[in-house]
A and B are shown apart, each in its own frame.
Chain A
């Protein structure tokens, strides 16, 4: 194994990790806001990928252009999921935890079923795009352009999110709601509105990730499952509910995955992630940047 191979793997691991962070951050945002785990997060990613695919297949829209459209559509979708499902699930008087889990878990199954029925289980792909299939060489290291673009989009999204949360009125309302949702009515804020917008924002972020991923991943009804699993690990690793934790957790997961692939056979590349996850859970159960 040469130094070049190692650098090459770590570089691609870093790029993939940033994308993992982008996939996970919506999950972390929603959990931090209202302590609800969205078990349909992977399916949100799936419909974002299909949306990108159909925009490409029917209207020849390049994924790079459709990314903002897909993010906007997912924003609406996320807000509607909150207003029509989650809003009622969190009101359950008994077994609240179970009701919440099964409401989003049930939604995931429905979304997969609907996708299988209407889109068929066939594997789709965006066959040619501005980004797809290209690589750039940086000092002898080859980086695939789609992943590079994904990493840049992820960084931009995180920077944007940071300013949104820390510099705007709505960001402040979001923070206040996550501190004490029962108290925001005291200052005239409707917590349901904040929750709906929070779900919208979380879904829009995973929508952005989905649009980029459509350029280099096959698209099929179950595509969300494996990424959602990684997203849960990322969020748990970074600290549940921490937006920055999701970013850092994503990078760690990406690097660990790449390192494992260097040492172990490729089919075992996920082993490293779960080993690190177990280690973190044993040593620091609240995650690296978790505050609870």
Chain B
């Protein structure tokens, strides 16, 4: 479904990722793991159109999307939840969700994903009138994912969904990711918490200082001795 081929992205001459290639098949959960500064966020930004790759191609269902404007890529079915979530802080939870379905005109298209969002994160439905900025870190992450789901994506991309969230909610969010996949979507997730990420993923890639280090089925990566030593602390 998503095919990233030899993508290199640089910020002001500084190369953040170098010739990275990844594949994501329909219905998969794919985890991209690696330490801080490995280029994980840059990879997602390059796919989402938030950064323009210097070279390489990004294909979605066989059509090139690199170089397209970010809002066009969203409209094509890739929902991106960035690291800092980028909610609309002074708007209500309801308005944030409502904005997620801005692209759709019919009420049916707008309400259908809402049921899924409330099923995944019931606490959002209790906080509809609250301003987004008054939510806890975990709830903000739920809202960010909820808003992304409202765009009815085929591919959901999450950047460090566990960041700044208390452990109990992290489990809740990872469980939600599995249910999102079960609802027919594909998920590409970037994480520093590799163990949890590998637990729910089908396949994984490991990035190190901007280059692809390892790739394979999540179960294999998890048992790889080098990975266990370097990343999982085992």
Contact = CB atoms under 8 A, between A and B. Distances in A.
A172 B98 contact: yes
B74 A173 contact: no
A111 to B, nearest CB: 31
B95 A188 contact: no
Interface of A: 169, 172-173, 175-176, 179-180, 182-191
Q: Closest 8 interchain pairs by CB?
A: A185-B70, A183-B86, A185-B71, A188-B74, A188-B103, A179-B88, A188-B75, A176-B88
Interface string B96-108: 0011101100000
A166 to B, nearest CB: 10
Given A173-B99, A173-B102, A176-B99, A184 B91 contact: no
B99 A172 contact: yes
B102 A175 contact: no
B90 A179 contact: yes
A183 B83 CA distance: 12
B33 interface: no
Contacts of A188: 71, 74-75, 102-103, 151
Given A185-B49, A186-B147, A187-B100, A175 B71 contact: no
Interface of B: 49-50, 69-71, 74-75, 79-82, 86-91, 95, 98-100, 102-103, 147-148, 150-151
Given A173-B102, A176-B99, A185-B50, 9 more contacts: A169-B98, A169-B102, A183-B86, A186-B81, A186-B86, A186-B147, A187-B147, A187-B151, A189-B103
Contacts of B88: 175-176, 179-180, 183
B102 A186 contact: no
A169 B90 CA distance: 16
Nearest to A291: B90
Contacts of B103: 187-189
Contacts of A179: 88-91
Centre residue among B81, B90, B99 by max chain A CB count within 10 A:
B99
Contacts of B151: 187-188
Contact of A172 (B69, B95, B150): B95
B25 to A, nearest CB: 24
Centre residue among A175, A183, A184, A190 by max chain B CB count within 10 A:
A183
Contacts of B99: 172-173, 176, 184, 187, 189
18 contacts: A169-B98, A172-B98, A172-B102, A175-B88, A179-B89, A182-B86, A184-B99, A185-B49, A185-B50, A185-B70, A186-B74, A186-B80, A186-B148, A187-B102, A187-B151, A189-B103, A190-B69, A190-B71
A179 B89 CA distance: 7
Contact of A187 (B50, B82, B89, B150): B150
Centre residue among A179, A182, A188, A190 by max chain B CB count within 10 A:
A188
Given A173-B99, A176-B99, A186 B89 contact: no
Nearest to B81: A186
Nearest to A166: B95
A172 B69 CA distance: 21
A164 B125 CA distance: 26
Contacts of B91: 172, 175-176, 179
Contacts of B89: 179-180
Given A172-B95, A176-B91, A179-B91, A189 B102 contact: yes
Contacts of A191: 71
Contacts of B147: 186-187
A173 B95 CA distance: 10
A184 B71 contact: yes
A184 B50 CA distance: 12
A38 to B, nearest CB: 24
